[in-house]
Structures are given as C-alpha cells and as structure tokens.
Structure 1
Amino acid sequence: MEIKVRDLVMRYGRAEVLNIRSLDFEKGTSYGLVGHNGAGKTTFFKCMTNIIANYQGEILIDDISVKQHNEVLLNVGIVLDGMSVYSNRSGWFNIQYFSGLRGNFDEEKARDLARELDLYAVLDQKVKTYSYGMQKKLILLIALMHKPEVLILDEPFRGLDIDTVKWFKKYLKQLTEEGLTLVISSHVQNDLEALCDIVYVIDRGRIAETIDINVEKEKQIRRIETTNNTRLKEILDEVNYYYQVDAEDGVKLDISDERWALVKQRLIEDAIEISELSKVKILDEKLN
C-alpha cells in the first residue's frame, strides 16, 4: 500500500503545528521520521491514523481518503507511544478482541508471535500485572497479527529488552522485503539507519529535509581532529573541499573525495598530525 499526504495543515487554536505540502510513502519501502521534541511527529502520526481528523488537506492510502473512509486503516498496523489495551483483561483476551475487530484472528500465529516475544507464559494473566515492556510487546503483537500492509510505529523500541529489539528489527526487515510499507520514528538514530531507506526530518511541523540512507551509506563521513585545526580548515578552503565544523571545533568531511589525498599531503608538509579520525553516524551528521 502507498500513502500520499497532500496539503496537510493542522492547528491547535491559532498555533500551526503541521504544514506538509506533499509527502509520499511507497510500497515496500521503510521510512523514518525524526525531529526534536515538539517538532510535530506524534501529531503527524495521529493524523495518519485518524486519531486526529480535524486537519486540512488529505491523507490517502492507495488513493483512498483516511478521513472519509476509516476502514482503510484495517490494513494498517499501528503502535503509537502511550497506546494502551484493556488492563483488567488478560493478554489473550486483548489479542482475540482486537484481532476479532479486523475479522481475521489466527490463533496459531498469535501463539507463535507470543513465543517470539516471550509473552506466551503470561497470556492468561491480566495486563495490569505486566511490566511496561511486556505491555509494549503485547501491543506490538496485536499490530502484527493481521499481517498489515502498512505499519506505523512511534517509538516502538522504547521499553523493550535488547533481544526483543534484535528480533523485531529482523522481523521488520523481512516484512518490508515482502512488500510492507513501514513508517517509524525513534529517538535512537542507529535504529533508523539500520531499518530505513528514507528518513524525513520534521522541524516545526514542516519537512525540513529528505535523507536517502542508502546514498549516505556510500559516503565516508569522518570527524577529524588535528594538532592544528585552524590550518586544516585553511587547507580545505584552499582546495575548495566541503566540510562542516561541530560545536567542539571538530571538522567533518567526506574522505571518499579524491582531494583527501592532497589534504593529507599538505598536512604532512606542515607537520600537522591527525589526532582523531572517527566515523560519523549518518543522522548525526545530518541533524547536528
């Protein structure tokens, strides 16, 4: 399934919190959404899933309006930060109930997923006895039950143990290879770099940048410290070499550039030593 966002504007009173003119999510592709707290990520997810419907513009899934045809969300798995289930009922009741709403409860699949998520032994217990992490696993299980064509995940790894995160990442990779459209946010940038093809940067409710993770992985961005960073920057300017300077005066640049050999030679000639040459994470380089 494909998602199209067109002329989306959302306001709380006079405050405009979203203004997204055009955004696309293609079938079988993984998308990340990043931004600082208050940038509009959660509001955007709530609009996508019709929790908020008083926005202007259109959100279309396979050219069907989410606002006008809520039933299109039956093919969408949704995990939003802060979601809850019936805490006075058992985990098993919740799985059966929410799966039944979609009309396709598969008991064998439910048991298999529960084993993978290490929930099987507690399915008959009331959810209010679960830890935060166990409740998060239950919500993930429910979202995965009906083999969704779209998964919308807001901070899905928060509260999960390392083994569950590893399994879930592998499972998501498998689903996208089978045609799933994945839209995910995470405050852990490594998660997005590992999972996503495209990352949209949202800032004050607008899409500020689109990052092609696969293209960025081909680059060799490094952070460099030398015994004379001032002279290093002069050399880079002299050879017209693009670079950035971080808050600690470290220099970030792409060493796959053919001019890097020339820069190193000039440093040697000026008796300047490289004291640090470290790899920069893709989203760190883009967002900081």
Structure 2
Amino acid sequence: MIEVENAVKTIGKKNVLKGINLKFDSGKVYGLKGRNGAGKTMLLRAVAGLIHLDRGQVSIDGQILHRDIDFPKDLGLLIESNNVLPDFTLRKNLQMLAKIKKVATDEMIDEAIRRVGLEPGDRRKVREYSLGMKQRAAIAQAIFERPRVILLDEPTNAIDIEGVKSIRELFEEEKKRGATILMASHNPEDLSLLADEVIEMSEGSVANAE
C-alpha cells in the first residue's frame, strides 16, 4: 500500500502540492487527471521519492520515504522525460540497469521489449528510434523488473492507435500481476478504460475522486 498524508510542497512561490491525502492499493490502476500544472507530475515525483516534501509524508508498506527508505524499493518509473540512454541499444540499456538490482534476467529483458512491441535483437541505438519507439522503450524500462509500484506520466504519448491498444493491454496485465499503477494522462480513453479510480487534481489539490 502507498499512503500520501498531508503532502505539501512549495517550489518558488507556487504551492504545487496542497495537503494531499490519498491511499493506493495493490492490483489497481489509479488515473490522475487535470490541466498542466495541476500537480499530477509532482505527486508522482513525491511517491517516487524524487522530491522532499515541505510537510507531510509518503509511506510505502509502512516505510516512510526519506526517513526509513530513500526511494521505493520496487519501482518502475516513466516521468516527464525518456531516461533511456540514446547511444546504446534498448537491450543494452536494460542490461546495464539490471546490474543494479540484479533482479531481471536476459529472458525478462527480452520479454519486456517484446511486450512493448519492439524487437530484442534490434541493433539500432535508441537515438535512431522514432518518438513512438522511444516511448515504448521507456515503458519497457518501467516494467522489465516486474516492479510492485509503477508510476507513469502520459504513457501513451506519441504511440500510434494500434500501439496504444497493446500498451493498454500490457498495463492490464501488470495490474493483474498485482502492481499498483499510478498514471497521469490527458487521454480520457486511457483513464476510462484502465483506471479503477480517477483522481482529478487542480492547482495542487485533489478536486474530485471517481
């Protein structure tokens, strides 16, 4: 379980999170909607441990971020930018990442690449990929270690219609596996088709939960 309690964050003079209180259970997809600047990405960054809150806390299975742990121990992440290294193949990228936690095997890596619609044997460097392929590569990076928590910021951006369908099926499979998925999206179909609960944010606050 992920619990956000009275999360407050100010950057400059802007209150980007204003006393957020939310709970997220395993095996569910939570959709975050709202205009740009509503606080969706900042909430994802808080859950990922990428920012320190001014007040309040985020806990993962009872462990408080930045007190008990620095980051969630079992996390897949796609936030804002594509962090896949451009001068390597996707397979090499994932192999290098796999050395950190020593969780993913080569078979798991190849499976993740295929699941996002790419080929493990593709020898092109990531910088040669189209925008849609780069987005698929970023999703592969988020799911290849089969994490318990998956945070996604606009995951279907730049992906064609058929590709979006298969990526949505992938997220459904991850949900059935028991992952907790938080997904910020401007695509209403992503939210209506995937989310068990939709949380609307506005100016750093929770405006509504459906």
TM beyond 0.5:
yes
Gaps of 5+ in 1: 212-288
Q: Which structure would you say has the larger RCO, counting Cα contacts within 8 Å and 6 or more residues apart?
A: 2
Q: Distance in 1 between matches of 2:41 and 2:206?
A: 14
Residue type at the aligned position of 1:162: I
Report the equivalent of 1:70: 70
Task: Say yes or no: does 1:159 pair with 2:158.
Answer: yes
Q: Distance in 1 between matches of 2:137 and 2:188?
A: 24
Q: Distance in 2 between matches of 1:118 and 1:175?
A: 16
Alpha-carbon RMSD: 1.7
Report the CA distance between 1:195 and its aligned residue: 0.5
SS of alignment partner, residue 86 of structure 1: coil
**Aligned pair in 2 of structure 1 residues 90, 55: CA closer, same or farther (>3 Å)?**
farther
Q: Distance in 2 between matches of 1:78 and 1:21?
A: 21
Report the CA distance between 1:74 and its aligned residue: 3.1
SS of alignment partner, residue 28 of structure 1: coil
8 Å CA contact retained: 1:74, 1:102: no
Report the equivalent of 1:28: 27
1:154-207 CA distances to partner (integer Å, 9 max, x unpaired)? 100001122222112112112212321111111111110100111111111000
1:110-259 correspondence to structure 2 within 5 Å: 110-120=109-119, 123-211=122-210
Q: Distance in 2 between matches of 1:20 and 1:122?
A: 47
Report the equivalent of 1:284: none
Report the CA distance between 1:115 and its aligned residue: 2.6
Percent sequence identity over aligned pairs: 28
Q: Distance in 1 between matches of 2:194 and 2:161?
A: 16
Q: Distance in 1 between matches of 2:208 and 2:137?
A: 34
* Larger helix proportion of the pair: 1
Rg (Cα) greater in structure: 1
**Aligned pair in 2 of structure 1 residues 199, 165: CA closer, same or farther (>3 Å)?**
same
Gaps of 5+ in 2: none
Q: Structure 1 length normalisation: TM-score? A: 0.68
SS of alignment partner, residue 108 of structure 1: helix
The number of residues matched between the two structures is: 209
Q: Distance in 2 between matches of 1:204 and 1:190?
A: 23
Q: Distance in 2 between matches of 1:143 and 1:107?
A: 16
1:217-253 CA distances to partner (integer Å, 9 max, x unpaired)? xxxxxxxxxxxxxxxxxxxxxxxxxxxxxxxxxxxxx
Residue type at the aligned position of 1:169: R
8 Å CA contact retained: 2:44, 2:182: no
Report the equivalent of 1:14: 13
Report the CA distance between 1:121 and its aligned residue: 6.0
